[in-house]
Amino acid sequence: MARLAISLLLISLLVLLAQAGDSVLGYTDTPTITGQTWKVHDSTRPHPRKVAPGRLLSSLPDPADAEILFDGHSLSKWQMKSRAGEFAAANWKVENGYVEIVSPQGMRWNMITKDKYGDCQVHLEWMIPAEVNGRGQAGGNSGVELMSRYEVQVLESYENVTYADGQAAALYGQHPPLVNVSPKKGEWNSYDIYFTAPRFDGDKLVKPAYVTVVHNGVLVHHHQEILGPAAHRRNAPYKAHAPEEPLSLQDHGHPVRYRNIWIRRL
Ligand code: MG
């Protein structure tokens, strides 16, 4: 009888795992990432080890030459841009010194800077509210999209497990972070991003983009080569674009919060 109960329990667990689907834990039918041995969103790729965050960097004052993109009150430096290329006034919710993603139409509108940037240093802070309960990529998904296309992933990755190249601080679909510095939901994170834009000669890529990312004070990408624009389930090749493009915060349909956003041109 006990054996039967255990078998039934195991079967239900397997069914649950199967129902979880590839979109939560990754895929096995995607192409190999250019220059790597892993597949895009590879479900067998090891997850980086966890490191408890150090001190948040938000207590440091903004550098004197930083351009303040969000001071806790005004979205005057921002506008909305839809996947279809329409523009609208910035309309995410500003309260208590942060801006929270509001997406009534779900994953349609990103909030992008009105100004454009190439090589830059970006500081921002983000938080997944404690009420967010999705799994995998539905666990408080957003992203910092450099030049509106090279994504540093934002996601709850303290408890929530997803494919390694899609967890918090991953260069989405390309490189997992070196370590996982995610705090619990409801706690603020900081990103300090040092970005070198790609160089093009006409349509030809001359030099790829590189990025260094510090998550909660810990190095998670060290002058990492970006392989192309972030993409789901595929390798996206570089496509020539202007030397400066807007910084974009990704709407993935979840109420992620941002605060204290500044940028320095390099
Ligand atoms: Mg994202």
CATH number at residue 242: 2.60.120.560
CB contact set of 183 (below 8 Å; sequence gap of 6+)? 53, 158, 189, 216
Average pLDDT over residues 106-121: 95
Q: How confident is the model at residue 174 (pLDDT cuts 50, 70, 90)?
A: very high
CA of 154 to the centre of ligand 1 (A): 6
CA of 220 to the centre of ligand 1 (A): 17
Q: How far is CA 80 from CA 68, 149, 214, 254, in A?
A: 18, 15, 27, 16
- Measured in whole angstroms, the distance separating CA 227 from the mean position of its chain's CA atoms is 16
Q: How far is CA 157 from CA 87, 169, 216, in A?
A: 32, 9, 13
With 0.85 as the threshold, say if the pTM is over it: yes
- Measured in whole angstroms, the distance separating CA 81 from the mean position of its chain's CA atoms is 18
CB contact set of 163 (below 8 Å; sequence gap of 6+)? 25, 26, 27, 41, 42, 43, 45
CA of 123 to the centre of ligand 1 (A): 17
pLDDT more than 70, % of the chain: 89
Output the pLDDT for position 38.
Answer: 97
Output the pLDDT for position 17.
Answer: 45
Q: How confident is the model at residue 20 (pLDDT cuts 50, 70, 90)?
A: very low
Q: Pick the residue with more confidence: 14 or 240?
A: 240
Number of folded domains that form the chain: 1
Alpha helices by DSSP H, the chain: 2-20, 22-25
CA of 1 to the centre of ligand 1 (A): 47
CA of 38 to the centre of ligand 1 (A): 20
CA of 203 to the centre of ligand 1 (A): 27
186: nearest Cα among 259, 127, 255? 127
CA of 11 to the centre of ligand 1 (A): 33
Average pLDDT over residues 193-207: 98
pLDDT more than 90, % of the chain: 85
Q: Is the pLDDT of residue 14 over 60?
A: no
- Provide the domain limits for residue 236: 2-265
CA of 153 to the centre of ligand 1 (A): 5
CA of 126 to the centre of ligand 1 (A): 13
Q: How confident is the model at residue 16 (pLDDT cuts 50, 70, 90)?
A: very low
CA distance 25 to 176: 14
Exposure letters 113-147 (e unless 16+ CB within 10 A, then b): beeebbebbbbbbbbbeeebebbbbbbbbbbbbbb
Q: How far apart are the first and last CA of the chain?
A: 69
Q: Is the pLDDT of residue 9 over 80?
A: no
Average pLDDT over residues 226-238: 97
Edge to edge, what strands does the sheet with 248-249 contain? 87-89, 78-82, 109-113, 248-249, 142-146, 150-154
In whole numbers, what is the pLDDT of the chain averaged over residues?
A: 92
CA of 190 to the centre of ligand 1 (A): 16
CA of 177 to the centre of ligand 1 (A): 14
